[in-house]
Amino acid sequence: MNIELTEEHLAVRDAARDFAQNVLKPGVIDRDEQQRFPAEEIKQLGELGFMGMMVDPKYGGGGMDTISYVLAMEEISKVDASCSVVMSVNNSLYCWGIEKYGTEEQKQKYLVPAAKGEAIGAFCLSEPEAGSDATSQRTTAIDKGDYYLLNGTKNWITNGGSASYYIVIAQTDVEKGHKGINAFIVEKGMEGFVVGAKENKMGIRASDTHTLLFNDVKVPKENRIGEDGFGFKFAMSVLSGGRIGIASQALGIASGAMELAIAYSKEREAFGKPIHQHQAIAFKLADMATDVEASRLLCLRAAWLKDQKINFDKESAMAKVFASKTAMWVTTEAVQVHGGYGFVKEYHVERLMRDAKITQIYEGTTEVQKIVISRSILK
């Protein structure tokens, strides 16, 4: 495996870092407090090519590799995880799924606008009782000839209120189990489609997370992705790639908190010298740096395998497990390094700590990822 960064990789990383530090950072605290969706910032991300990074240029994307995506996600997440989760869902779950498995007509109609950043996509799997279990879908899509009649509820949907297009996983034939599941593209504004109230969350508060209600929504037959019964395989494939995005978000949250802790340790003095000269702090920083670097390598490994078209299910799950655990630990320690100031919003680390927790939950909890890993190593 060779993950030596090219000049193109470095240019992508630097562009993302510049955007995060100069555009996102000035308003990130206000957006968090007000739970305000970063609409203008997301539009600018799209103009820079970060909303369809891995999409073929003929469909309006950047044609970049997954390593570039990891680098950009890390830099954006260092500053604003609410913004990066919008970017992650649009890239990993929505655009990648349609480009890989959609028809040419679906790509032209639903992929191009999202890849250009002119529209936002969402991925709808989780349900009130099913969570991320794709085999236990209660949402149904009954074949009515020219269309499917969609009924059900989806929970915890990122971009739920801001998206224009939604990939919805639904059961079409209960007797067939997971082979009776399909994926559909649903447009906002279709009759019977209702966006529920926005969730009041602990972290990633500027991203909009909603419950979605489908009441006899007529979905055209041509909006089904893949052959009849392909929905379960589609969801599993898309989620595996999505783990790379969330692992990279966790990596960014951790590395952002570590950088803030290092900078503060050089400024703050105690007992006559900067606190980084005390072993109690120096050892914390050393442990942070080690776990952050290990997380980065796991993310890049999974990205490299994906780019080589080698199965990466186990590696993406490992990256998500380790990076999310690292994010939670590093942010907590960063608050500790800051002392009382770490509890104050203007120092940013308390927000990063709140944002870190969700990386252990969405795209499948840590326990779900461990099932994926164990099944792979026990084959």
Dist. CA 351–CA 335, nearest whole Å: 10
Active site positions, annotated: 363
Question: In the beta sheet, which residues pair with residue 157?
Answer: 210
CA 259 vs. chain centroid, Å, equals 22
> Which region holds residue 145: left if phi is over 0, alpha if psi is between -120 and 50, else beta?
left
Report the run of H or E that residue 149 belongs to, with start and end. strand 147-158
Measured distance between the N- and C-terminal CA atoms of the chain, rounded to whole angstroms: 23
Q: Rg (Cα) of the chain, in Å, rounded?
A: 21
Could you tell me which residues come within 8 angstroms of residue 126 by beta carbon, excluding any fewer than 6 positions away? 132, 154, 155, 156, 157
* Cβ-based neighbour number of residue 228 at 10 Å: 14
**DSSP state letters, 213-234:** EEEEEEEEGGGEESSTT-HHHH
Cβ(372)–Cβ(317) below 8 Å: yes
Report the run of H or E that residue 186 belongs to, with start and end. strand 181-187
